[in-house]
Structure 1
Amino acid sequence: MMGTTKTKIAIITSSLAHGGAERSCGLLSILLSNLGYEIHVVTVLDEIEFNYQGELLNLGLLKKQDDSFLGRFKRLLVFKNYLKKNNFDWIIDHRPRIPTCSELIISRFIYNPKNVIYVVHNFKIDKYFPRNKFIAKIIYKHSPYIIAVSEEIKKAIHQKFGYKNVKTIYNPIDNKLLNSLSKEKIIDKKFILAYGRIDDDVKNFSLLIDGYSQSILPQKKILLYILGDGKDVEKLKLKVAELHLTEKVIFKSKLTNPFPYVKSALFTVLTSKYEGFPMVIIESLALGTPVISVDCNSGPREVIVNEQNGLLIENYSSNELAKAMNRFVEDQFLYENCKNNASKSVEHLAVASISKQWQEILSK
């Protein structure tokens, strides 16, 4: 299949809001649409913030009307009929695939498994695969491809399940879009930045705040901006207050465009317990902003070359994080070197390059 309007693709995602995985789904819809494919996007939740292209089926609107057992059954029928009516050549499913019972139903009775490509966005592969290998085989054995967004995820799938149909395709960067979204003028103050879903169990913003509090940045009047929404905003604000940093740590919610802040930050920081292939890192580097990241599974070590485009540090150590922050502030040569190398270090993730990789598998 070549990239023509005759080739129809459905991209299935939990939502188009909040996180990097969801942002990458929107970007993939734009990428494939620009290649000439007819794109449809199906969202499970009524959460639409990120840019996308194609026809939208928002199952979340039905979920809001009726989330009873009968309502869920009706949504499955709507979904099944939509797929049948459009007769898609490919389905690209980005959702975390739990619980197992629901996924068995979807894989056996909703999908045609021979044209479904499953995408795994997280190193915690239990979010995507049943623990039972026999059931996992039932769901995945006929899929032509399982796409891992990092090499570490690919290895984890190989090690646990032994599948041979796993391929790595990194999340892409749309430099043109990023540059256009980052032009807005913002505060004229020095600050560092973290952004994403405010879920401390995953993103570990507590470690970020501890590292910042132990660094020299507060006394040098370098602020910490935390952008995003999520369940732990109030908990983190309380922690900041207990550290007497309320005027130094600024939370901004309901912000659909973080990129003016990304471009203006001295550097961005990622402190996650685990990731997939973090958009925070590649977006920052693409905009010329160096990164400090913990060496979590997975993604950071596949992008960051230590002391060349950022600093890669031991995870769960506020002391190491504080030292890294201090180095970027005090060692101007190191900082400028990382900043100068930032954008070119992710050129291989540009839309043109990632498009070719998707086109290669969709043309088979």
Structure 2
Amino acid sequence: MVKPKTKKICIVVSSLGAGGAERSSAILSEMLFDLGYDIHIVSVLNKIDYPFKGTLLNLGVLKDEDDSILGRLKRLKVFKNYLKKHHFDYVIDSRTRIGLFKEFLISNFIYNPKKTIYCVRSYNTDGYINPNRFFGDRLYSSAHRIIAVSNGISVKLKKKYGFKNLTVINNPIVINNVSVMSEVDVKNKFILFFGRLDDSIKNISLLLQAYAESKIFQKEIKLIILGAGKDKDLLLNKSEILRLNNSVSFLEYKSNPYGWVKEAVFTVLTSRYEGFPRTLIESLALGTPVISVDCQSGPNEIIVDEHNGLLVENHNIKALAQAMDRLVEDKELYLRCKANAKSSVAHLSMKTIGLQWKAILN
């Protein structure tokens, strides 16, 4: 009996560091590698923080050396030659895709559309699909598949572009026992935000305002903000204005935040928009209840209100403050959400999500 040929898959990423989308791409490489595919990863930027599996082509090293127009053309040539050399069965493009001319070149002259799968990992779809309906359709409608990480994203793309090659595959969860062994040096109880400190997306200002209005900070339950980003100084200043200096701690970015997540009373998400947020599914997988604003998209596909957490109206400071108080003061509610947390995301296991990818690739 002839053994079937191992399929070669190339995953193209913006980077492998500093964000949930990038983390999901790294996990995708591990998942497909473990399923027996020959995995190659091409990174546009020289930022490799997350563990991955497969062979890495780091175009970011060339970018650091020369980011002129000539340097960019050189990188495109290196990329094209790499794809040509390896004869990949599929290319999975997980990058943000901005710039009509550049993406026209890539989709038409570097990729083979019938062997290309495009991922859309945020409700801000303009970063992945050209906002012009004509150009968006021209660039992506002939692709093998467009993978949306949430139903909300899929509905938006179908309505705007009429794509018929859409499939929804959620982000999977991968947390092992070693991941949660990091030490947590906090004596008080605390609630947690972990993620990128970009207030234009994550709206951490809303979290600070709601925390200041809640009763929980008067009960000496601290707020820990874990992460790095361009708005750290702005948020530190806002915390000072709200007189939260003794109650809010800003800790540095950690590639392994799971010890903190597991020890938190609950975690909080206040984003203006999302994709299928890893912070929520990873918290629940560790048995930690969640509170999230009902932003587009993801939270209302993950949280069953009062079952595994609380879902509140977005941009509503009072509603968020009340939700924080409820989850602390209502012991029955809290214990119910905690008891249901892990089982509520069991369908997002690597095995289950891996089978969905396998169906696309085979």
Task: Judge conservation of contact 1:5–1:36 (CA < 8 Å) in 2.
Answer: no
Deviations for 1:303-331, whole angstroms, at most 9, x for unmatched residues? 10000000000000111110000001111
Q: CA deviation at 1:51?
A: 1.3
Is residue 240 of structure 2 the alignment partner of residue 241 of structure 1?
yes
CA RMSD, aligned part only?
A: 1.2
Q: Give the match for residue 108 of structure 1.
A: 108
What TM-score, normalized by structure 1, do the two folds share?
0.96
Task: Judge conservation of contact 1:4–1:35 (CA < 8 Å) in 2.
Answer: no
Task: Judge conservation of contact 2:8–2:88 (CA < 8 Å) in 1.
Answer: yes
Task: Judge conservation of contact 2:173–2:282 (CA < 8 Å) in 1.
Answer: yes
Deviations for 1:216-244, whole angstroms, at most 9, x for unmatched residues? 12211111111111110111001111112
- Report the secondary structure of 2:345's partner residue: helix
Flag as ranges the 4+ runs of structure 1 deviating above 4 A. Answer: none
Structural mapping, 1:1-364, within 5 Å? 6-175=6-175, 177=176, 179-187=177-185, 188-363=187-362
Letter in 2 for 1:182: V
Structure 1 residue ranges without an equivalent (≥5): none
What is the aligned residue count?
Answer: 359
Structure 2 residue ranges without an equivalent (≥5): none
Q: CA deviation at 1:257?
A: 1.0
Q: CA deviation at 1:143?
A: 0.6
C-alpha distance in 2, partners of 1:5/1:325?
54
1:5 and 1:216, CA in 2 relative to 1: closer, same or farther beyond 3 A?
farther
Q: CA deviation at 1:4?
A: 6.7
Letter in 1 for 2:316: S
C-alpha distance in 1, partners of 2:5/2:231?
44
* Higher RCO (CA-CA < 8 Å; seq separation 6+): 1
- Report the secondary structure of 1:321's partner residue: helix
Deviations for 1:124-159, whole angstroms, at most 9, x for unmatched residues? 111111122222222113211100000010100110
Task: Judge conservation of contact 2:137–2:163 (CA < 8 Å) in 1.
Answer: no
C-alpha distance in 1, partners of 2:280/2:8?
32
C-alpha distance in 2, partners of 1:278/1:287?
15
Instruction: Name the % identity.
Output: 52
Task: Judge conservation of contact 2:141–2:165 (CA < 8 Å) in 1.
Answer: no
Q: CA deviation at 1:19?
A: 1.2
Deviations for 1:60-116, whole angstroms, at most 9, x for unmatched residues? 111111111111111111111111111111100111110111110111111111100
Task: Judge conservation of contact 2:141–2:164 (CA < 8 Å) in 1.
Answer: no
C-alpha distance in 2, partners of 1:244/1:266?
22
